[in-house]
A and B are shown apart, each in its own frame.
Chain A
């Protein structure tokens, strides 16, 4: 009798891969907006996988930052630039064939090496305090400096994005 969470894993993993495939090679639509929508769905199902892995905080961050902020910026830019003529182009058959071949080769190599080595899964024990609390403690105690550097990086990215998109750059 399989447990409910096991079934949930298979469902979410299948959905993640299906939506991921529809993001990159949707047979029905070449519109980048459709791709972006399917990427949102991929990210949502990945957040479900994070919950199954007891990474609750990261699941929330994934939904808020990725599906919320990043994808909104994506859609905003795609809709701002009028990309109508793109839909008339067809897939490049050679590129799809060779790309599919190389992606299959990489996937085969990775999966074969993972199956062959069978990583030691030392049963996932429970942490003493809640996962989110422990994560926050770790983030603000032993990883405080990278955290602060990251805030500077975000500032630099903001200034850089504004500067790059300025009309008359002097």
Chain B
């Protein structure tokens, strides 16, 4: 079967759920961060597929902006992780429970 728009959308939906699985199930902050990146990429794939099948390039411009913002987000997020590691010597969410009652 020739792949159409909904094939790409299904791949994007599955990739999004994989990213969600990484965020929910893993306990390492780096892997959680990679799950977030996976979810952003899934949204990008859906946008590119829509822009292709509706012949509208605005979706690709949006993806370009998303990639740039994601790069900025990674820089700041990893800086926060480095600062956290310097204070607590851990990158593991189970060790970060000081807000717990």
Q: How far is the CB of B81 from chain A (nearest CB, A)?
A: 7
Interface string of A1-36 (1 = CB under 8 A from B): 011001001100100110011011100001010011
For residue A4, give the distance in angstroms from its CB to the closest CB of chain B.
Answer: 12
Chain A interface helix/strand/loop/mixed = helix
Residue of A nearest to B24 (CB): A99
* Across-interface contacts of A103 in B (CB, < 8 A): 17-18, 20-21, 24-25
- Residues of A116-157 whose CB lies within 8 A of B: 118-119, 121-122, 124-125, 127, 131, 134-135, 138-139, 143, 146-147, 150, 153-154, 156-157
Q: Give the nearest-CB partner of B83 in chain A.
A: A164
The chain B residues found within 8 Å of chain A, CB to CB, are 1-11, 13-22, 24-28, 30-31, 33-35, 37-38, 41, 44-45, 48-49, 51-55, 57-58, 60-61, 63-65, 67-76, 78-83, 85-86, 91-92
**A positions within 8 Å CB-CB of B:** 2-3, 6, 9-10, 13, 16-17, 20-21, 23-25, 30, 32, 35-36, 39, 42-43, 46, 49-50, 53-55, 57-58, 61-62, 65-66, 69-70, 73-74, 77-78, 80-81, 83, 86, 89, 91-92, 95-96, 98-100, 102-104, 106-107, 110-111, 114-115, 118-119, 121-122, 124-125, 127, 131, 134-135, 138-139, 143, 146-147, 150, 153-154, 156-158, 160-162, 164-165, 167
